[in-house]
Structure 1
Amino acid sequence: MLITDDFLPVPVPESLSATYLVPMAGLPRVSPKTAVRALEGRLAPPVHGLATQMLDSPLMSVDTRSIDEFPQLPPDLLTAFGATEAQLGRLAAASHLVVVQAEYRPGWPPAHEWAARAVAAAVAESVDGDVVDVFGLQFLDPATALRSLPDEHGRVRLVDWVLVPYSSDAEGLWFTTKGLRRFGLLELQTQGVPDHLTRAWGAVMTGAARRLLRDWTDGLAGEEVPAFVQLPVLATVTGHDIAVAYGNPEQHGATAPVLLRLELDPATDPEADSFLSLRPPPGHPGPDGKYFAAACATLFSGIQPDVRYARSGDAMSRAVATARAGLDGIRARFLAGQLPAESQLVVKYGLPGDEGPEYVWAGVTSWETPERIVGASASDANTDPSVRIGSPVVVESTDIVDWALLDGTGVIEGGWTQAVLDAGERPHPSH
């Protein structure tokens, strides 16, 4: 095996397993095969065929057990990963668990995960129940579980399979992924992330996971499973990686790639997980957090994706007025194709929130009438769970407070409210 300074050898497990549970009061109403047959036409044919084949093979087992035979699932962790009171109530009332387990070799497709989730969703749907993903400690309703499975082209949204939890410590935020081990890869971590980059860095981690998972599965493409896969020490992440991971490959701005250095962080405790740490590239001066902030600025085209509020009667109010005065002119240039080459037009607009509007950015894709813009969100919103990076949005012109032209270096025109924020004036929430 070749070991160089350019590549990091990451060990490959011999096999991978997936476990899903379906809590139920009483015994199953139908067999797993009957439940899976009921999904024909609703699952992409390759996935439906895979689930059927795995059910007939020794690679999958489906057992019904008394709930007393299974270790208790931790309600606090289930709640932390999104469990509702109704789901926890159904779990508490359950007398039995249907346990779906599958094994497969590392590589792509991850047949153990696709098939086990499909079978568990089919069983859960037959009893109007829930699926519990044991790896992610997550409840999934059957419809959500089925939507997460590959389409007819084999595509999935990585965000349906990999979570990015974070916690705070004295150095800043500590991010980890939770889901890459499904595919045999070590989980990622980043430490020392500035607090204001919570949502932005979560998206960067998801994009990095997508890029490294592709390198990982490329290294497992041969007939024999290797002992190690060589991952590049300097990994690149682009806006396209983030958009694909969120399921919006056609809605992404052209961003310059960001370099992240990969370090193996082996666990000292045999029961603990090892990580692949994401760090700034060699030679970066100053604290890591400074580089992470610059990386976010590049990937989100110089636009701060975190929440800020405007108040009247200050520099921010003047900035909003200036931006609004220029809307007709920038629309005319956009429609006439007169914007600079390789540039992107973005607008900042308000979403209603309990503490006043939340302001987010969106890339403009269509502006047919002066009153309404169709675009793609450049950030995740706090107040509206449907507004996610890359998701389509419709913006009323009356809600716009700023616009900007971006290229690979950042803002080249406009961005008046951003200039106020970058100058250090941090407005307070308005009520």
Structure 2
Amino acid sequence: MLITDDFLPVPVPESLTATYLVPLTGLPPTSPRRAVEALAGRIAEPVHGLARQMLDSPLLSVDTRSMSEFPRLPPDLLTAFGASPEQLARLGEATHLVVVQAEYRPGWPPAHEWAARAVAAAMADQVGGNVVDVFGLQFLTPEAALRSLPDERGRVRLVDWVLVPYSSDADGLWFTTKGLRRFGLMELQVQGVPDHLTRAWGAVMTGAARRLLRTFTDGIATEEVPAFVQLPVLATITGHDIAVAYGSPEQQVTTAPVLLRLELDPATDPDADSFLSLRPPAGHTGPPGRYFAAVCATLFGAGAGAGQPDIQYARPGDAMARAVATAREGLPAVRRRFLAGDLSDGTQLVVKYGLPTEDGPEFVWAGVRSWPSPDRIVGTSASDATTDPTIRIGAPVVVAAAEVVDWALLGDGGVIEGGWTQAVLDAGHRDGGAPDAGHRDGG
């Protein structure tokens, strides 16, 4: 494995185990197979079929145990993760537990989690009870558990599987994720987040989890599970990552990408978890909180700390058309500066361009690597395209300058120059970052 300063080797576990519990008073009234068969039509067939197949294999087991045979679940932590007094009372009254466990190799799809949660939800549905997700220490109603499973296209909301708890420390807020390890990736952490960014930074963490999980699972999509996966030291997070993690992939998010540096923080206690820490890029001066505020401003607008961040998406308007015209007028000058090496150290030039679709252009960002001719830009995609599966973050792209609708210079504090379409959004014009098709070449 090649080790460079640009990538961080992250260990991959050999196998993963999912454990779900269904508390009961008495013995279960039906078999797991009958309970799963009763879900026909209520969950997507690929998951329904997977659950049936796993039940017939040694990879999934369903056992009924008396409460005394299972370690006591901590009520304080269950409460912290949303358990109601009624749920805790029913757990205290239970005499037995249905224990559903599944084991599978790391990778996507995570068959152990999909199948185990489906079987546990089926059993809970039969008795009108709840599911306990042991990994997340959460109670789930059968309905909530079933809603969290993949749809017909295999899509899930990552927020249904990964929590983002936080607490205060001397330097601000300490954010972590809880749920990535169920997929084989170490949990994330960030320290020193300003208090007023509580809700916005939770969304950033969820988007970062989505981006890194995708990179991680792409890296282990091989016949043999590798011992390590190389993750980029500089992680590129976009508003699209956040939209997808929250189950809104149709939103054409137009924010500039932001950069977060990835570091491995191994645990000193053998019983504690190691983390992947997200920090400002190297060379950032000032407290980390200042950079985190700039990240939120880039992704959500200048008022990100005031309330729930709002994902903004494309709609045509006069202000946006003017922003595109301004950006295109500045293209020749920024190309000259790029070729002459006149951009500040650590500055990244990115461009936004349109991909043609039946419903109008979809707009994505790319980092500029070279600009050999005025009409041709060679770069690396900084966004995932919804309509073109070949356009993924990190993939090489060639962009026609005629398709460019905006450009920006990114520094330690976010956008330091350009980004006119984003400025329209931040000013309160919900035009999105996309001009209409008639203005896609700047008019």
Task: Find out whether 1:186 has 2:200 as its counterpart.
Answer: no
Does the CA contact (< 8 Å) of 2:22 and 2:124 recur in 1? yes
Q: Could you tell me how far apart the structure 1 residues matched to 2:203 and 2:427 are?
A: 26
Aligned to 1:124: 124
TM-score of the pair, normalised by structure 2: 0.72
Specify the SS of the correspondent of 2:304: coil
TM-score by length of 1: 0.74
- The question of whether the paired residues in 2 share the 8 Å contact of 1:66 and 1:97 is answered with yes
The residue type equivalent to 1:203 in the other structure is: A
C-alpha change, 1:166 and 1:44, in structure 2 (3 Å) is same
Q: Are the aligned partners of 1:82 and 1:139 in contact in 2 as well (CA < 8 Å)?
A: yes
Number of the residue aligned with 1:277: 277
Matched position secondary structure for 2:319:
coil
Which of 402, 421, 429 aligns to 1:407? It is 421
Q: CA deviation at 1:339?
A: 2.9
* SS class of match (1:146): helix
Aligned ranges 1:217-296 → 2 under 5 Å: 217-296=217-296
User: For residues 411 and 84 of structure 1, what CA distance do their matches in structure 2 show?
Assistant: 40
1:339 and 2:353 matched: no
Residue deviations 1:73-107, cap 9 Å, x none?
00000000000011111101100000000000000
Q: CA RMSD in A?
A: 2.0
How many Å separate the matches in 1 of 2:60 and 2:262? 35
Runs of 4+ in 1 over 4 A off after TM superposition: 409-415
- Match in the other structure for 1:156: 156
Give the CA deviation at 1:306.
Answer: 2.3
CA positional deviation for 1:34? 0.2
How far 1:266 sits from its partner (Å)? 0.2
Count of matched residue pairs:
330
- Is 1:27–2:27 an aligned residue pair? yes
Contact 1:238 1:258 survives alignment (8 Å): yes
Distance 1:13 1:246 in 2: 27
Residues 336-375 of structure 1 aligned to structure 2 (within 5 Å): 337-341=317-321
1:342, CA displacement in angstroms? Answer: 8.6
**Per-residue deviation, residues 241-272 of structure 1 (Å, max 9, x unmatched):** 00100001123530000000000000000000
Matching residue's letter, 1:340: M
CA contact (8 A) 1:406 1:413 kept: no
**1:43: how far off?**
1.0
Return the alpha-carbon distance in structure 1 between the equivalents of residues 317 and 425 of structure 2.
19
CA gap of 1:285–1:209, structure 2 versus 1, over 3 A, is same
Distance 1:93 1:306 in 2: 43
Q: 1:100-139 alignment to 2 at 5 Å?
A: 100-139=100-139
Matched position secondary structure for 1:340: helix
AA partner of residue 261 (structure 1): R
Please give the per-residue CA displacement for 1:5-34, whole angstroms capped at 9, x wherever unaligned.
000000000000000000010000000000
C-alpha separation in 1, matches of 2:424 and 2:304: 11
- After TM superposition, give the deviation of residue 164 of structure 1 in Å: 0.2
DSSP 3-state at the match of 2:182: helix
Bigger shift: residues 243-252 or 175-184: 243-252
- Give 2:336's aligned residue: none
Give distance in 2, aligned partners of 1:275 and 1:336.
42
**Post-superposition shift, 1:303?**
2.9
SS of equivalent to 2:321: coil
Whole-angstrom distance in 1 between the partners of 2:87 and 2:206? 27
1-side partners of 2:5 and 2:211: how far apart?
Answer: 20
Q: What percentage of residue pairs aligned between the two structures are identical?
A: 77
Instruction: Write the mapping of 1:42-57 to structure 2, written as runs, cut at 5 A.
Output: 42-57=42-57
Identify unmatched segments of 5+ residues in structure 2.
Answer: 309-313, 325-418, 430-443
Deviation at 1:343, TM superposition (A): 6.7
Q: CA deviation at 1:304?
A: 2.3
Distance 2:322 2:33 in 1: 53
Structure 1 counterpart of 2:40: 40
**TM-superposed deviation, 1:42:** 1.1
What CA deviation, in whole Å up to 9, does each residue of 1:289-331 have, x standing for no partner? 00000000000033324249xxxxxxxxxxxxxxxxxxxxxxx
Residue 371 of structure 2 corresponds to none
**Structure 2: how far apart are the matches of 1:342 and 1:68?**
70
Relative distance call for 1:91 and 1:412 in structure 2 (3 A) is closer
Q: 1:301–1:407: 8 Å Cα contact kept in structure 2?
A: no
Question: How far did 1:408 drift?
Answer: 2.4
8 A contact 1:301–1:410 mirrored in 2: no
Task: Find the aligned partners of 2:132 and 2:260 in 1 and give their Cα distance.
Answer: 34
* Cα displacement string for residues 185-209 of structure 1 (whole angstroms, at most 9, x for unaligned residues): 0000000000000000000000000
**Distance between the aligned counterparts of 1:407 and 1:202, measured in 2?**
25
The alpha-carbon distance between structure 1 residues 414 and 124, as it changes in their structure 2 partners (threshold 3 A), is: closer
Q: 1:422 matched to which residue of 2?
A: none
